[in-house]
Homo-oligomer: A and B are copies of this chain.
Amino acid sequence: MTMAEKNCSYFIDVLASKAPVPGGGGAAAMGGAIGMALSNMVGNLTVGKKKYADVEDEVKSLLEQGSQIIEELKKLVDRDAEVFEPLSKAYGLPKDTPEEAAYKEKVMEACSIEACSVPMEIMRKAYAGIKIHERMGRIGTKLAISDVGCGVVFLKAALISGQLNVLINLGAIKNNTFVEETKREMEQLLKEGSRIADETLALVIEKVS
């Protein structure tokens, strides 16, 4: 059974427990999926309304993209737990001899690179979700504009949580090229995503105030 198939209380309880997973990464993916759902709610309230007939095709396309991101984020909750297991085993490897130490370093590096890929993917999905909210806030039904604001702040939270989880994994990686390339993409997603999310929120606040 996937984590998304468990009940919400169970997810929150196991998150709050000292069990190693789910942690911040799983919370980011699940919280991001909740945010993404709100743009889709606005889209579903827009489709079929005469007043919005002109934008119906584009709204339908945003809805499809949104549904795909929701499914991907739900999968990333489980994926984050899967990549943590080999990493936590690697931490426990002995390093008493030079051979053991070299082997441990090699395994740690490989597991950390793998573990890093999940929060990076969460950031990419959160960024894409923020862009969808930006557009939905402009063309979707005005009756549910506040929900666009709620969705975008939760996706921004997922974006920042992704960043934190990328950073902790990068700390154990020695491959400089990988570290630099990952940091560059991370910073780009964070900067652009935060800017678009903040602008979208400002627009919503202006409209509901």
- For residue A87, CB closer than 8 A to chain B, the reply is no
The interface residues of chain B lying within 8 Å CB-to-CB of A66 are 16
| A147 to B49 alpha-carbon distance, docked (Å) | 43
Instruction: Indicate if the CB atoms of A208 and B167 lie closer than 8 Å.
Output: yes
Which residues from 29 to 84 on chain A have a C-beta closer than 8 Å to any C-beta of chain B? 30-31, 33-38, 40-41, 44-45, 66-67, 70, 74
CB distance from A154 to the nearest CB of B (A): 5
Contact residues, A1-20 vs B (CB, 8 A): 3-9, 11-13, 15-18
Contact of A4 among B8, B154, B161, B201 (CB under 8 A): B8
Please report whether the interface of chain A is mostly helix, strand, loop or mixed according to DSSP.
helix
Q: Are A15 and B41 in contact (CB under 8 A)?
A: yes
Q: Which 8 pairs between the two chains have the least Cβ-Cβ distance?
A: A24-B150, A16-B40, A16-B37, A150-B161, A18-B44, A15-B37, A157-B157, A153-B157
Chain B contacts for A163, CB-based, 8 A: 205
Contacts of A111 in B (CB 8 A): none
Number of copies of this protein chain within its complex? 2
Q: Is the CB of B24 within 8 A of A37?
A: no
Query: For the complex, what is the distance from the CA of A164 to the CA of B147, rounded to whole Å?
Result: 8
With contact pairs A6-B7, A31-B34 given, residues A204 and B23 touching in the complex (Cβ less than 8 Å): no
A119 to B204 alpha-carbon distance, docked (Å): 17
